[in-house]
Amino acid sequence: MTSNAHNGSSALQGSIVVACVGSIRGLGAAVARRFGREGYPVVIAGRNAEKLLATALELEADGIHVHAVPGDVSKPDDVRRFIDVAEELAPLAIAVHNAGSNRPAPFLEMPQEEFEVHWREHALGAFNLARAALPALLARQEPGLPFHHGASLFFTGASGSLRGKANFAAFSAAKGALRNLSQSLAREFGPQGVHVAHVVIDGGIEGERLLSSRPELQATRGADGLLNIDAIAEAYWTLHHQHRSAWTQELDLRPWSENF
């Protein structure tokens, strides 16, 4: 949405793609804002073009160099476009898969199509983003490039990544697949200089998706009882800037009062 012109500093630190972005009051937008405020050109991608454009306009008003690219992570051609747009801005430095939709249902009442929808968004979408982003991220491993301007591939997980609760079969199966994918990619591409990390969000996120459906949670959970989206985004920022001698592969985040 803003000019394609970028300075040498932007080119060195690189661009970021955040896939599965919705509302400005969501985690994807918060991650985009955190990196954008430090000068990273940002590409946000999501299926809802109208919502994505509204989010991009608000980020742009906050001084973020942002491009909105509507598309579906379950479609390889769409994901390729996300990466291509980012690479036009500056060499890709970070790709974030941030899918979070979840529709609990009793298992015997769940149609196969619903199981597949979860799998396509969380597991297949992560696969597609990794396939599209990794060649660009590996290209940053040129001799002489400082490691702290390196390459990161991050996946947003959930409690369902670790355990399958009743009525969460589709979500847990998809998020479990995502977690194992991240571990496999970390073992293959970590030694090649790409920081692959999986972030387990263990608790409710204080954003539009949750509070629009359950507004009472903000009061019942108490102060800081829901995960603050900007605090989560700060964790992604820290992950990307970790020293390579002490990389985190899996990070779990939860409110101080959350039972686990």
Residue 240 has pLDDT above 90, yes or no: yes
Residue 259 placed within a domain: no
Neighbours of 98 (CB within 10 A): 28
Residue 88 placed within a domain: yes
- The H-or-E segment that residue 86 falls in is helix 76-89
- Sort 218 into a burial class: Cβ within 10 Å, 0-12 / 13-18 / 19+: middle
Counting the structural domains of the chain, the total is 1
Q: Tell which wins on pLDDT, 1 or 35.
A: 35
Residue 260 placed within a domain: no
Residue 166 placed within a domain: yes
pLDDT of residue 228: 92
Residue 142 has pLDDT above 50, yes or no: yes
pLDDT in tens, 106-139: 999 999 999 999 999 999 999 999 999 999 999 9
pLDDT of residue 220: 77
Residue 179 placed within a domain: yes
Angle at which helices 27-36 and 229-240 pack, to 10 degrees?
50
Residue 2 placed within a domain: no
Confidence label for 230 from pLDDT (cuts 50, 70 and 90): very high
- The H-or-E segment that residue 152 falls in is strand 151-158
Residue 1 has pLDDT above 70, yes or no: no
Residue 157 has pLDDT above 80, yes or no: yes
Confidence label for 146 from pLDDT (cuts 50, 70 and 90): low
Confidence label for 3 from pLDDT (cuts 50, 70 and 90): very low
pLDDT in tens, 176-215: 999 999 999 999 999 999 999 999 999 888 866 665 667 7
Angle at which helices 49-61 and 27-36 pack, to 10 degrees?
30
Q: What is the b/e burial string over 47-73, where b = at least 16 CB atoms within 10 angstroms of the residue's CB?
A: beeebbeebbebbbeeebbbbbbbbbb
**Residue 234, domain extent:** 8-253
Query: If you average pLDDT over residues 153-172, what whole number do you get?
Result: 95
Question: Cβ distance 211 to 157 under 8 Å?
Answer: no
Name the pTM for this structure. 0.90
Residue 3 placed within a domain: no
pLDDT of residue 4: 41
Neighbours of 75 (CB within 10 A): 15
pLDDT of residue 34: 97
Residue recorded with tokens 């829901």: 226
Percentage above 70 pLDDT, the chain? 88
∠ Cα 92 97 99 (to 5°): 155
Give residue 65's region: left, alpha or beta (phi > 0; psi -120 to 50).
beta
Find the CATH number of the domain harbouring 243.
Answer: 3.40.50.720
pLDDT of residue 101: 83
Q: Among 209, 228, 157, which Cα is nearest to 48's?
A: 209
Q: Which residues contact 84 (CB under 8 A, 6 or more apart)?
A: none
